[in-house]
Structure 1
Amino acid sequence: MRAEIINLVDEMKQSIGLLRRHLDWDNAQKKLAELNARSEDPALWNDPQVAQDVMRKRQDLESRINLVRRLEQTIEDNTGLIELGEAEGDQAIVKEAEKALTGLKDEVAKYEIETLLSGEADQNEAFLQVNAGAGGTESQDWASMLLRMYVRWGEQHDYKVDILDEHSGEEAGIKSATIQVKGHNAYGWLKTESGVHRLVRISPYDSNARRHTSFASIWVYPVLDDSIDIQVNESECRIDTYRASGAGGQHVNTTDSAVRITHIPTGIVVACQSERSQHKNRATAWKMLKARLYELELQKQQEKIDAANAKKTDIGWGHQIRSYVLQPYQLVKDLRTGKTSTNPTAVLGGDLDEFMAASLAQRVHGGGPSQVDDID
Structure 2
Amino acid sequence: MKERTHLEQSIAAVRKIESDVEEATLLIEMGEDEGDQDSVDEGENQIFALKELADKKQLESLLSGEADANDCYLQVNAGAGGTEAQDWAEMLLRMYTRWAEQHGYKVEWLEESSGEEAGLKSATVMIKGHNAYGWLKTEAGVHRLVRISPYDSQARRHTSFSSAWVYPVIDDSFDIEILDKDIRVDTFRASGAGGQHVNTTDSAIRIVHEPTGIVVQCQNDRSQHKNRATAMNMLKSRLFEHEMQKREEAAQAEADSKTEIGWGRQIRSYVLQPYQMVKDLRTGAETSNSGAVLNGDIDMFLEASLASKLKGGTSEDGEVEELL
Output the TM-score relative to the length of structure 2.
0.69
Q: Give the letter aligned to residue 185 of structure 1.
A: N
Quote the offset at 1:341 in angstroms.
Answer: 1.2
In 2, Cα distance between equivalents of 1:124 and 1:298: 21
Matched, 1:202 2:148: yes
Quote the offset at 1:85 in angstroms.
Answer: 2.7
Q: Which runs of 5+ in 1 are unaligned?
A: 1-54, 230-288, 301-317, 372-376
The structure 1 residue matched to 2:106, chosen from 138, 143, 160, is 160
In 2, Cα distance between equivalents of 1:81 and 1:370: 36
Matched, 1:129 2:51: no
8 Å contact kept, 1:137–1:169: yes
In 2, Cα distance between equivalents of 1:222 and 1:89: 55
* Corresponding residue for residue 293 of structure 1: 248
Quote the offset at 1:109 in angstroms.
Answer: 1.7
8 Å contact kept, 2:84–2:151: yes
Structure 2 vs 1, CA of residues 110 and 370 (structure 1 numbering), >3 Å: closer, same or farther? Answer: closer
Structure 2 vs 1, CA of residues 367 and 85 (structure 1 numbering), >3 Å: closer, same or farther? Answer: closer
User: After alignment, is 218-227 or 182-191 more displaced?
Assistant: 218-227
In 1, Cα distance between equivalents of 2:307 and 2:81: 34
Structure 2 vs 1, CA of residues 297 and 84 (structure 1 numbering), >3 Å: closer, same or farther? Answer: farther
Structure 2 vs 1, CA of residues 101 and 369 (structure 1 numbering), >3 Å: closer, same or farther? Answer: closer
- 3-state SS of the aligned residue for 1:189? helix
Quote the offset at 1:134 in angstroms.
Answer: 2.8
Quote the offset at 1:368 in angstroms.
Answer: 5.4
Structure 2 vs 1, CA of residues 174 and 291 (structure 1 numbering), >3 Å: closer, same or farther? Answer: farther
The structure 2 residue matched to 1:99, chosen from 38, 45, 61, is 45
* Higher-Rg member (1/2): 2
- 3-state SS of the aligned residue for 1:71? helix
* Corresponding residue for residue 247 of structure 1: none
* Corresponding residue for residue 175 of structure 1: 121
The structure 2 residue matched to 1:187, chosen from 133, 141, 149, is 133
In 1, Cα distance between equivalents of 2:94 and 2:245: 26
In 2, Cα distance between equivalents of 1:223 and 1:92: 50
In 2, Cα distance between equivalents of 1:127 and 1:335: 24
Q: Which runs of 5+ in 2 are unaligned?
A: 177-243, 256-263, 318-324
1:122-152 deviation line (CA, Å, top 9, x unaligned): 1111110000113221110000000100000
- 3-state SS of the aligned residue for 1:120? coil
8 Å contact kept, 1:223–1:291: no
- 3-state SS of the aligned residue for 1:215? strand
* Corresponding residue for residue 88 of structure 2: 142
In 2, Cα distance between equivalents of 1:73 and 1:202: 50
Structure 2 vs 1, CA of residues 299 and 77 (structure 1 numbering), >3 Å: closer, same or farther? Answer: farther
Structure 2 vs 1, CA of residues 92 and 158 (structure 1 numbering), >3 Å: closer, same or farther? Answer: same
Quote the offset at 1:292 in angstroms.
Answer: 7.2
* Corresponding residue for residue 34 of structure 2: 88
Quote the offset at 1:322 in angstroms.
Answer: 0.8
Q: Give the letter aligned to residue 313 of structure 2.
A: G
Number of matched pairs: 241
Output the TM-score relative to the length of structure 1.
0.60
- 3-state SS of the aligned residue for 1:197? strand
* Corresponding residue for residue 343 of structure 1: 289
In 2, Cα distance between equivalents of 1:228 and 1:298: 25
* Corresponding residue for residue 227 of structure 1: 174
Structure 2 vs 1, CA of residues 107 and 101 (structure 1 numbering), >3 Å: closer, same or farther? Answer: same
In 2, Cα distance between equivalents of 1:209 and 1:133: 21
The structure 2 residue matched to 1:362, chosen from 308, 321, 324, is 308
* Corresponding residue for residue 322 of structure 1: 268
Structure 2 vs 1, CA of residues 369 and 74 (structure 1 numbering), >3 Å: closer, same or farther? Answer: closer
Structure 2 vs 1, CA of residues 320 and 216 (structure 1 numbering), >3 Å: closer, same or farther? Answer: same
Matched, 1:76 2:47: no
1:3-34 deviation line (CA, Å, top 9, x unaligned): xxxxxxxxxxxxxxxxxxxxxxxxxxxxxxxx
- 3-state SS of the aligned residue for 1:158? coil
In 1, Cα distance between equivalents of 2:267 and 2:80: 17
8 Å contact kept, 2:285–2:316: no
- 3-state SS of the aligned residue for 1:336? coil
Root-mean-square deviation over aligned CA pairs? 2.6
Matched, 1:57 2:12: no
Quote the offset at 1:339 in angstroms.
Answer: 1.3
Quote the offset at 1:218 in angstroms.
Answer: 0.2
1:82-117 deviation line (CA, Å, top 9, x unaligned): 222322333343332222222222211211221231
1:182-216 deviation line (CA, Å, top 9, x unaligned): 11111000000000111111110000111111111
Quote the offset at 1:223 in angstroms.
Answer: 1.1
Identity in percent: 61
Structure 2 vs 1, CA of residues 120 and 335 (structure 1 numbering), >3 Å: closer, same or farther? Answer: same
1:306-332 deviation line (CA, Å, top 9, x unaligned): xxxxxxxxxxxx931111111111111
Structure number with the higher helix fraction is 1
